[in-house]
Amino acid sequence: MEKKLIAMIFAVLIMLSLLAGCSRSTEPVNNEEKENIPNQNSVGETEEIATKTSEITLCESWGFENGFATVITPETSTNFGLNFYLANFYETLVNYEDGEILPSLAKSWEVSEDGLIYTFYLKEGVKFSDGADFNAEVVKKNLEMIPRLSGAYNGSVALITALFKEINVIDEYTVEVHMSSPYYGALHDFAKLNPMAMVSPNAFNEDNTLSDKIFTNTMGTGPYMYDSQSDEKIYTFISNPNYHGGKSDIIKFNVKVIPDQEAKALALRKGEIDMIFGFAQISYDGFKVFSDDNNFGTNISDTPIRTRFFGFNLSKEPFNDKNVRLAVNHAIDKENISKNIFYDIEKKADTFFNSELPYCDVELKPYEYNVDKAIQLLEQSGYVDTDGDGIREKDGNKLEGELLYISGSSVTDDLALTVKSFLNKIGMDIKVTGLDMMAWYAKTQADEFAIAGRETYGIPSDPFTSISNMNTQTKVDNILAQALIHLEDGDEIINKLNTLVKENEIQEEYDFILNEIHSNSPFVPISHIKELIVYNSKKIDAYEFDGQPSNIRIDFLKVK
Q: What is the CATH number of the domain that holds 173?
A: 3.40.190.10
DSSP tag of 368: -
- Out of 168, 203, 238, a domain closes at 203
* pLDDT value at 101 more than 90: yes
Are 375 and 457 members of one domain?
yes
Are 510 and 540 members of one domain?
no
Are 232 and 100 members of one domain?
no
Average the pLDDT over 44-65 and give the result.
70
| Beta strand pairing call for 523-529 and 347-348 | antiparallel
pLDDT at 410: 84
**Does residue 60 lie in a domain region?**
yes
* pLDDT value at 13 more than 60: no
Question: What is the residue-averaged pLDDT of the chain?
Answer: 90
**Does residue 85 lie in a domain region?**
no
* pLDDT value at 424 more than 90: yes
The Cα-based distances of 217 to 89, 202, 224 in angstroms read 10, 11, 11
Average the pLDDT over 261-269 and give the result.
95
pLDDT at 10: 52
**Does residue 209 lie in a domain region?**
no
Are 266 and 345 members of one domain?
no
Residue 145 one-letter amino acid:
M
* CB of 126 closer than 8 Å to CB of 106: no
User: Over pLDDT 70: what percentage of the chain?
Assistant: 89
* pLDDT value at 328 more than 90: yes
Average the pLDDT over 544-548 and give the result.
94
pLDDT at 19: 45
Which range of 44-48, 97-101, 405-409, 518-522 scores highest in mean pLDDT? It is 518-522
Are 355 and 491 members of one domain?
yes
pLDDT at 70: 93
| pLDDT-derived band at 232, boundaries 50, 70, 90 | confident
Helix (H, G, I), strand (E, B) or coil at 413: helix
* pLDDT value at 371 more than 70: yes
Are 444 and 362 members of one domain?
yes
- Dmax (CA) for the chain in angstroms is 80
**Does residue 6 lie in a domain region?**
no
**Does residue 7 lie in a domain region?**
no
Average the pLDDT over 453-476 and give the result.
91
Average the pLDDT over 229-255 and give the result.
94
* Exposure b/e, 514-551, CB count within 10 A at least 16 = b: bebbbebbbbbbbbbbbbbbbbbbebbeebebbbbbbb
* pLDDT value at 76 more than 90: no
The Cα-based distances of 383 to 123, 319, 320, 396 in angstroms read 65, 12, 14, 10
Return the higher-pLDDT residue of 206 and 419: 419
Are 388 and 465 members of one domain?
yes
Q: How far apart are the first and last CA of the chain?
A: 56
| pLDDT-derived band at 25, boundaries 50, 70, 90 | very low
The Cα-based distances of 554 to 88, 254, 276, 515, 534 in angstroms read 7, 10, 12, 40, 13
For residue 243, the Cα-to-chain-centroid distance in whole angstroms is 26
Average the pLDDT over 255-272 and give the result.
95
* Domain around 384: 306-529
Residue 181, strand partner residues: none
pLDDT at 29: 41
Choice among 42-46, 91-95, 176-180, 302-306 with the minimum mean pLDDT: 42-46
Are 456 and 317 members of one domain?
yes
| pLDDT-derived band at 470, boundaries 50, 70, 90 | very high
pLDDT at 15: 53
Are 228 and 160 members of one domain?
no
* CB of 136 closer than 8 Å to CB of 196: no
**Does residue 88 lie in a domain region?**
no
Residues 134 and 406: their CA atoms lie apart, in Å, by 42
pTM comes to: 0.87
Q: How many domains, in total, are found in the chain?
A: 3
* Exposure b/e, 248-274, CB count within 10 A at least 16 = b: bbbbbbbbbbbbebeebbebbeeeebb
* pLDDT value at 92 more than 80: yes
Are 471 and 388 members of one domain?
yes
Of 393, 306, 290, 295, whose CA–CA distance to 357 is shortest?
306
**Does residue 355 lie in a domain region?**
yes
User: Residue 395 belongs to a domain with what CATH number?
Assistant: 3.10.105.10
Are 376 and 483 members of one domain?
yes
| pLDDT-derived band at 155, boundaries 50, 70, 90 | confident
Are 489 and 370 members of one domain?
yes
pLDDT at 391: 97
Residues 78 and 72: their CA atoms lie apart, in Å, by 9
Choice among 48-52, 220-224, 316-320, 527-531 with the minimum mean pLDDT: 48-52
**Does residue 20 lie in a domain region?**
no
